Amino acid sequence: MHPALRLRPLDAHAFAAYGEVLDLAEGPARAINEGTTQRHELPSTLELTRHGGSPALASFRAQAQPLEGPWKVLERHLWGSQTFIPLQAGRWVVLVARGHTHPDLGSLAAFAVGAQQGVTLHAGTWHHPLIALDPGLFLVVERKGPAVDCEVVQLEVPVRLAP
């Protein structure tokens, strides 16, 4: 068994190789609707139309899971990005890796994501399915298309996480 992978705070610089951080509470905003609403832009590069794909919205209701795992699979979507935005959520984790044909376990990273943060995973980023440490509801923006775009690999040695 590998030593436990340390959980890191999510920040844009550390996460850039895997995707983009969406800060839901900070940054420039502008007043709209006669000043009754603040519009906060969430810059993100969405890749949703490759191979005949189109944008899809879904809600994911996640059950709480223990931080340590063990986490046994990684998946990737080669043709589209995937965005997770918490609607009613507490603590959650993004477990990601790079790699061309298989996950590069040397690039494996685990990030603690705050309730006011979302992420967009780049197309092709290996990631564990949603890990919620508290029960939660998430809005997911992803590609749907005529062919399924989800490759899943079983990890030979499960990953354990440590705070």
pLDDT tens track for 96-144: 999 999 999 999 999 999 888 999 999 999 999 999 999 999 999 999 9
Q: Give the residue extent of every domain in the chain.
A: 5-162
Instruction: Answer yes or no: are the C-beta atoms of 59 and 131 closer than 8 Å.
Output: no
As its CATH architecture, domain 5-162 has Sandwich (2.60)
The band of 37, judged by pLDDT with boundaries at 50, 70 and 90, is confident
pLDDT tens track for 40-86: 777 778 999 999 999 999 999 999 999 999 999 999 999 999 999 99
Instruction: Answer yes or no: are the C-beta atoms of 118 and 86 closer than 8 Å.
Output: yes
**2 has a pLDDT exceeding 90:** no
- CA–CA dist 25, 31 (Å, integer): 15
Reported as type and span, the H/E element at residue 7 is strand 5-9
From the list 29, 17, 24, the residue with the least C-alpha distance to 92 is: 24
Instruction: Answer yes or no: are the C-beta atoms of 90 and 136 closer than 8 Å.
Output: yes
